[in-house]
Amino acid sequence: MEEEIVQYRILAVERFMNGESAEAICTSLGKSRAWLYKWIKRYRDQDHSWSQCRSRTPHTSQCRTSSEIVEIVKMIRLSLYNQDLFCGAQAILWEMEDLRIQPLPSMRTINRILSRYELTHRRTGKYEAKGTPYPGLPSLAPNQTHQADLVGPCYLKGPIRFYSLNVIDTATLRCGLHPTPDKSGQTILAGFWAIWKRMGIPGHIQVDNAMSFFGSPTHPRGMGPLIRLCLHNGVEPWFIPMAEPWRNGMIESFNDRYQKLFLAKQVMLSTNDLESGSLAFEQRHNSRYRYSKIGGKTPLKALAASPVKLRFPEAVEPPRQRLKKPTTGRYHLVRLVRSE
């Protein structure tokens, strides 16, 4: 069938070149003048395959990602990888936003580019937890459990020393950040109070055994400022085993992300820059970062999907040291007691 169509085209062009009128050729072949002149034009272009069918696929597609964007994604991924930073689709998208690259591809497009060029590294095999079994805290609803840690000392140019109180909700993965100049009892109270005003008051909070959280190790019954703050607000603090930071795995993982995506990339010259930058990173993380643990949602979308009503502090200002010793409530110290 295709050979017959090709012969029709060759015959029509030959008849036209021999002086036959276009009207007579089209009438005898049952074709239009546009069809005839199309093949005459191709013949005159001296293309050896002029009589063959050509693909009708458009040369350009509005839906196709441009080669420039593909190369930018590959270069940014390589740059992040060489700096030992997170180099997944989310990190690449953030970097492209910072560089004001337009048009900005979607997360799905970036993931397709990474897969096409085999720029993904996935962990193989099932993860097996190691170590002594640990009492698991509930993390089914927002603010059931928070994990918290104090990062520092860190330094701005100057140098200006600071600490960062980082908190993460284990159910929705929302984070809260509060930079402080020191780790005194009052700054710890102010830090948790400020974060609770944005995230809500949790039912449990899990921390390590830092002096600023626990209090004096020589007076274990003295109750540090965090214990007093929690018990006065209906929160049960949990202190993980000594020298086992992996027990607070979610906040430790977030701290690594905080170091690489915020401290290592932002240029901050003053405490005002630090405070505004910390709040901006917190909002950006909670509204843009997606986690497989919560079905690919962002932390704020995971919160919006829950019917749980959050509880917030009533007072605007944080309580002042020294808080009265609570008479009710519980706090937990997880310790391994060996059989001997």
Token pair 């829950």 in the structure block, residue: 306
Q: How far apart are CA 138 and CA 311, in angstroms?
A: 17
For residue 134, being part of any structural domain is answered with no
Domain assignment present for residue 93? The answer is yes
Q: Are residues 111 and 152 in the same domain?
A: no
The number of helix segments (H) and strand segments (E) in the chain equals 12, 6
**263 occurs within a structural domain:** yes
User: Both 40 and 170 in a single domain?
Assistant: no
* Residue 329 and residue 222 share a domain: yes
- SS3 call for 179: strand
Distance CA 299, CA 132 (A): 30
N-term to C-term CA, the chain: 91
Q: Is the pTM of this model over 0.75?
A: no
Position 217, amino acid? P
**Do both 167 and 276 map to the same domain?**
yes
Sequence-separated (6 or more) residues with CB below 8 Å from residue 331: 227, 230, 231, 236, 237, 238, 239
The verdict on residue 217 lying in a domain is yes
Per-residue pLDDT of the chain in tens (340 residues, 90 and over written 9): 566 777 777 777 777 777 788 788 888 777 787 877 777 777 776 666 666 666 666 666 666 778 888 889 988 888 877 776 678 888 888 888 878 888 888 888 999 999 888 887 655 555 565 566 777 788 889 999 999 999 888 888 767 889 999 999 999 999 999 999 888 888 989 999 999 999 999 999 999 888 888 876 666 677 888 888 999 999 999 988 887 887 888 898 899 888 888 888 777 888 888 899 999 999 988 988 888 788 878 899 999 999 999 999 988 888 888 888 888 889 988 887 777 7
Does residue 298 share a domain with residue 232?
Answer: yes
In a domain, 58, yes or no: no
Q: Where are the beta strands (DSSP E) in 199-335?
A: 204-207, 236-239, 332-333
* Cβ-contact 91, 80 below 8 angstroms: yes
Residues 323 and 225 occupy one common structural domain: yes
Please tell me whether residues 104 and 235 are part of one structural domain: no
In a domain, 244, yes or no: yes
If asked whether residues 172 and 234 sit together in one domain, one would say: yes
Asked whether residue 249 is assigned to any structural domain, the reply reads yes
Q: Tell me, rounded to whole angstroms, the distance of Cα 155 from its chain centroid.
A: 25
Same domain (yes/no): 163, 307: yes
Give the count of domains, the chain.
Answer: 3
Same domain? For 154 and 81 the reply is no
Domain that holds residue 157: 145-333
- Which residues neighbour 299 within 8 Å (Cβ) at sequence distance 6 or greater? 169, 172, 173, 174, 175, 285, 286, 287, 289, 291
Q: Are residues 292 and 192 in the same domain?
A: yes
Q: Are residues 89 and 201 in the same domain?
A: no
CATH number of domain containing 275: 3.30.420.10
Domain contains 125: no
